[in-house]
Amino acid sequence: MKLLHLYHDIMNLYGEYANISAMERILKKSGIECQTDKLSIGDNAELSEYDFIYIGSGTERNQKAVLEDFRKYTITLKSYIDSGKVILMTGNSFEMLGGRITDASGTEFEGIGIADFSVKEQNKKRNTSDAIFKADFSDKELVGFINKCSEIFGIDTPLFDVLMGLGNKVDDDKEGIRINNLFGTHLTGPILIKNPYFLEYIANLVAGKEKEISTKHLGFEKTGYEVTLNALCRAGAGAVPALSVRN
Amino acid sequence: MKLFLTILICRFLRFIGKLMGKGSSLPGKIALKLCPDILDRVKLPEYIIAVTGSNGKTSTVEMIAHILTENGKSVAWNKEGSNQIEGVTTLILANSTLSGRVRNDILLIESDERFARYTFKHITPTHYVITNLYRDQLTRNGHPEWVADAISDSIRDNTQLILNADDPLVSVFGKDRDNVIWFGADRLESDTEECTGMYDDGVYCPVCKKFMRYSSRHYAHIGHYKCTNCGYKRHDTDYTVTSVDLDKGLAVIDGKYDISLALKSLYNIYNILAAFTVASVVGIDKGKTAENLSNYVMKNGRVVNFTIGKRHGTLLTAKHENSISYDQSIKLAASEKSGCDVMFIVDAVSRKYFTSDVSWLWDINFDMLNCENVHKIILSGKYCNDLAVRFSYTDIPRDKIKIFEDIKKAYDFLNSDREEYIYTITCFSDKGKFLTLL
């Protein structure tokens, strides 16, 4: 199988390269041969050759620089998504999929238009938060961190319910976007390391029905996940009623 | 009268606070409530030196204060590191006469990089040192460019900037300003051509976002860079580290001022160079400054020597959520030729804020420990599982690694008849949990 870490050197703010490392390891541990390509601005990736694509988060300025390059993939990315192949986009990378991004100065940048949403940035306050999200495809919540300065309007197919943290816009209890097997979320950092059950779910989609995914190697990951989930539930209890049942 | 009363109250509160061992930001906070324009009303000294940046602020400020004091200057500075506007207000009022005149020759301010814009709305520094901009506490700082924008808002036209020429993001502040003082290091023997960290924040030009090239890297994105597109490049330096021998513990500034290093890291040398630069700007003799800096051991408790049974060790305070700080401590431990054990503690990620985010572990280059000098590696604290996962992605042999969630058990493991030197690497938030066991 072929994995692609796209914009690896510019959209990589929070140790996010580890997402691709985690995918590579779980496939290999499951007996599936795979290789990872790292490509960036100026390269021409043949998206249809890949079985998994990952793009991470960048500074607001880096995202705009990447957007100019990313535009060339509009058609090939659309067919990649339509074919049901898996792509994960974390942090502000998935904001490029929408209609437009308006930066803090009011300048508008046209998105690649695969989805219909719009993004508005500001430069006054960094919106950060620990996060617990619930997905409809798993009984295991996701944990992580959000670090952004934007709000996203008009997403019809969100990825997560927000139990703790920040949604797509202020006071939104929905977060991220899902289109077929495209997963976009503002959870940043190595979320596939931190969320071994989410990794398992995604790896199953990548591997397909014929191949079985092995999770035997994920012992420390699973314990680490429980420690974080419990710590966040304790921290969030009271403020977040849905969490207090865990205490 | 309002000024007089506010200063009186602030000094009284400071006095009580000191007796009770409380922090120094509350008196300033109350003073600002009583008299919001208090900082505009006080009479400040001839030199107002501010220091900001991601890493090294506290150490740089301490060294500047040390040199200036040794040379007969009277310095008011925020020793306790209360570096937001409240702490700075306490500092100023505590050193003022009741008529509102700061009594010292020099006001030296360590300033939080994100809050400097509020502090320097009221106070205009005569000199403003910006040390570096790294990935630091991203859970509250966003990212380095976000911080750079915040610092940019704090820079006043009539302030003279003192900038690290080797940091491309910091050097942007000096663009189109003509009275900047630049410090940096010449090509050093330890330099590399490629970035040796887990990530490279120097790939793209901070001005035009096209490719930059480095002719030499000191560490991370710190080095000699030039943009292939817009020509933005490292500025020539006014104060320069011309050579470094970390084995011998010697740095040379401007080709003739030898400084013996108490802490043998490149990172520390930048703090020394920044302090040297400020001292020179204030008019202290360079030879004397070099003497004052030689073998200077920081009093801020970030390096603590200890013994466990018969074994000797050093606690190196790295900052959680700051991979460059960890990389530098790891490099220091890995260079221990007589052999060492290295212990990491991640128990509370942050001291001030609750967060469970350990993304920063993935930005640290732990593979530097994969060398003969390092014997055992001990992972400890509540987040030891995350550390264990991180280490499973290094090439370090598994049998070198010991994992103890309980810090006391890790301590007991170290309290053995092994002979290796011990390095304990952790953060302010966790170091006390180790030091109380000694």
Instruction: List chain A domain ranges.
Output: 2-92+101-244
CA distance B291 to B344: 35
B298 assigned to some structural domain: no
Instruction: Give tens-digit pLDDT for B19-44.
Output: 777 767 888 898 899 888 989 999 99
Q: Give the H/E segment covering residue B162.
A: strand B160-164
Q: B356: distance to nearest CA of chain A, Å?
A: 6
Instruction: Provide the pLDDT for residue A75.
Output: 98
pLDDT at residue A239, as a whole number: 57
Q: Which residues of A touch B205 (CB under 8 A)?
A: none
Question: In chain B, how many domains are there?
Answer: 2
Task: Give the list of residues 6+ apart from residue B329 with CB closer than 8 angstroms, or none.
Answer: B265, B316, B318, B423, B425
Beta strands in A91-228 (DSSP E): 100-102, 108-110, 118-121, 127-135, 142-148, 150-153, 160-164, 174-175, 177-179, 182-185, 187-188
Chain B residues with CB within 8 Å of chain A CB: 135, 138-146, 149, 198-200, 203-204, 209, 354-363, 382-383, 385-386, 388-389, 392-393
Give A-chain residues touching B356 at CB under 8 angstroms.
Answer: 130, 143, 145, 228, 231-232, 235
Q: Are residues B93 and B189 in the same domain?
A: yes
Which of B150, B259, B244 lies closest to B191 in space, CA to CA? B244
| Residue pair B118/B83 in contact by the 8 Å Cβ criterion | no
Cβ–Cβ of B385/A224 closer than 8 Å? yes
Nearest CB among B139, B149, B389 relative to A220 is that of B389
From B293, B319, B338, give the residue that closes a domain: B293
In this complex, the residue of B138, B199, B389 whose CB is nearest that of residue A12 is B199
Whose tokens are 């035009």? That residue is: B208
Which residue range(s) make up the domain with B353?
303-435
Q: Nearest by CB to B362, which of A65, A190, A224? A: A190
- Taking residues B60-74, report their average pLDDT: 97
pLDDT per residue as tens digits for the range B107-159: 999 999 988 999 999 999 999 999 999 999 998 899 999 999 999 999 999 99
Q: Are residues B282 and B310 in the same domain?
A: no
Residue B357: CATH number of its domain? 3.90.190.20
Taking CA atoms, B146 is separated from B136, B151, B153, B344, in Å, by 11, 9, 11, 30
Facing residue for A190 by CB, picked from B145, B359, B388: B359
Nearest to A165 by CA among A216, A129, A140: A129
Inter-chain touch A144–B357, beta carbons under 8 Å: yes
SS (H, E, C) B225-271: EEECCCCCECCCCCEEEEEEECCCCEEEECCCEEEECCCCCHHHHHH
User: How far is CA B21 from its chain centroid?
Assistant: 24
Put simply, the answer to whether A17 touches B389 (Cβ < 8 Å) is: no
C-alpha distance from A125 to closest chain B C-alpha (Å): 9
Asked whether the beta carbons of residue A221 and residue B138 sit closer than 8 angstroms, the reply is: no
In this structure, what are the phi and psi dihedrals at residue B388, rounded to the nearest 5 degrees? -60, -40
Distance of residue A213 Cα from the nearest chain B Cα, in angstroms:
19
Subunit contact B135:A65, Cβ cutoff 8 A: no
| Cα distance between residue A176 and residue A95, in whole Å | 10
Cβ contact, residue pair A12, B139, below 8 Å:
no
Q: What are phi and psi of B14, to 5 degrees?
A: -60, -40
A195 CB-near residues (< 8 Å, 6+ apart): A140, A142, A143, A144, A225
Measure Cα distances from B196 to A120, A189, B213, B215, B363 in Å.
36, 21, 15, 14, 11
Question: Which member of B149, B204, B358 has the closest CB to residue A123?
Answer: B149
Query: In this structure, are B96 and B161 located in the same domain?
Result: yes
Contact A18 B199 (CB under 8 A): no
pLDDT tens for chain A, 247 residues: list them: 999 999 999 999 999 999 999 999 999 999 999 999 999 999 999 999 999 999 999 999 999 999 999 999 999 999 999 999 999 999 999 999 999 999 999 999 999 999 999 999 999 999 999 999 999 999 999 999 999 999 999 999 999 999 999 999 999 999 999 999 999 999 999 999 999 999 999 999 999 988 999 999 999 999 999 999 999 998 876 556 555 444 4
Question: Considering only alpha carbons, which residue of chain B is nearest residue A189?
Answer: B359
Q: Give A-chain residues touching B382 at CB under 8 angstroms.
A: 227, 231
Q: Is residue B30 part of a domain?
A: yes
Q: Which residues, other chains included, contact A245 with Cβ-Cβ below 8 Å and sequence gap of 6+?
A: none
Contact A14 B360 (CB under 8 A): yes
Q: Which residues of chain B make contact with A62, given a CB cutoff of 8 A?
A: 204, 209
B241 assigned to some structural domain: yes
ipTM of the complex: 0.95
Statement to judge: residues B382 and B246 lie in one domain: no
- Mutation pick from B199, B214, B346, B357 vs chain A, by most beta carbons of A within 10 Å, is B357
Indicate yes or no: CB of A235 within 8 angstroms of CB of B354.
Answer: yes
Bridge partners (DSSP) of residue B77 are B108
Shortest distance, CA A145 to any CA of chain B (angstroms) = 6
Contacts of B266 (CB under 8 A, 6+ apart): B185, B188, B190, B218, B219, B244, B246, B328
Cβ atoms of residues B89 and B165 within 8 Å? no
A/B interface, count of CB pairs below 8 Å: 104
**A189–B200: do the CB atoms touch at under 8 Å?**
no
- State how far residue A166 is from chain B, nearest Cα, in angstroms: 14
Q: Which residues of A4-33 are buried (b: 16+ CB within 10 A; e: fewer)?
A: bbbbbbbbbbbbbbbbbbbbbbbbeebebe
Helical spans, DSSP H, in B133-227? 138-141, 144-152, 168-171
What's the gap in Å between the CA of B384 and the closest CA on chain A? 8
Q: Can you give the pLDDT at residue A245?
A: 45
Q: Express each pLDDT in B363-403 by its tens digit.
A: 999 999 999 999 999 999 999 999 999 999 999 999 999 99
Are residue B281 and residue B310 in the same domain, yes or no?
Answer: no
B373 exposure class (CB count in 10 Å sphere: 0-12, 13-18, 19+): middle
| Same domain, yes or no: B145 and B284 | yes
- Measured at the alpha carbon of residue B251, what is the angle toward residues B250 and B253, in degrees to the nearest 5? 150
Query: Which of the listed residues B273, B293, B313 is the one where a domain comes to its end?
Result: B293
Backbone phi and psi for residue B346, each to the nearest 5 degrees, phi listed first: -125, 100
Residues B57 and B80 reside in one and the same domain: yes
B418 and B373 inside one domain: yes
- d(C-alpha B63, C-alpha A169), whole Å: 46
What residues of chain A have any CB closer than 8 angstroms to a CB in chain B?
A: 9-10, 12-18, 21, 25, 59-62, 65, 123, 126, 128, 130, 143-145, 147, 149, 188-190, 193-194, 220-221, 223-224, 227-228, 231-232, 235
> Confidence band (pLDDT; 50, 70, 90) for B428?
confident
* Pairwise CB contact (< 8 Å): B355 & A190: no
| CA within 13 Å, CB half, B189 | 8
- For residue B223, what are its two tokens? 């080095």
Helix (H, G, I), strand (E, B) or coil at A191: helix
**Domain membership flag for residue B248:** yes
The answer to whether residues B56 and B157 belong to one domain is yes
Q: Do B266 and B159 have their domain in common?
A: yes
For residue A240, what pLDDT is reported? 60
Kindly report the nearest CA distance between residue A83 and chain B, in angstroms.
32
Q: Which of B242, B266, B293 is the last residue of a domain?
A: B293
Residue A171's region, left for phi above 0, alpha for psi from -120 to 50, else beta, is left
Contact A190 B138 (CB under 8 A): no
Q: Which of A5, A16, A90, A130 to mutate to test the interface with B (most CBs of B within 10 A)?
A: A130
Decide which of A189 and B5 is more confident.
A189
**Calpha distance B308→B62 (Å, rounded):** 29
For the segment B204-219, the average pLDDT, to the nearest whole number, is 97
Region of residue B100 (left: phi > 0; alpha: psi -120 to 50; beta: else): left
CATH number at residue B107: 3.40.1190.10
Are B265 and B308 found together in one domain? no
Chain B residues inside the 8 Å CB shell of A145: 139, 355-357, 359
* Topology (CATH level 3) of domain A2-92+101-244: Rossmann fold (3.40.50)
Q: Are A228 and B361 an interchain contact pair (Cβ–Cβ within 8 Å)?
A: no
Distance between A153 CA and the closest CA of chain B, angstroms: 22
CA of A63 to nearest chain B CA: how many angstroms apart? 10
A9 to chain B nearest CA, in Å? 7
pLDDT of residue B128: 98
Nearest CA distance, B318 vs chain A (angstrom)? 18
Nearest one of A1, A7, A4, A27 to A94, comparing CA atoms: A7
Distance CA B66, CA B63 (A): 5
| pLDDT for the residue numbered B386 | 97
Q: Are residues B312 and B241 in the same domain?
A: no
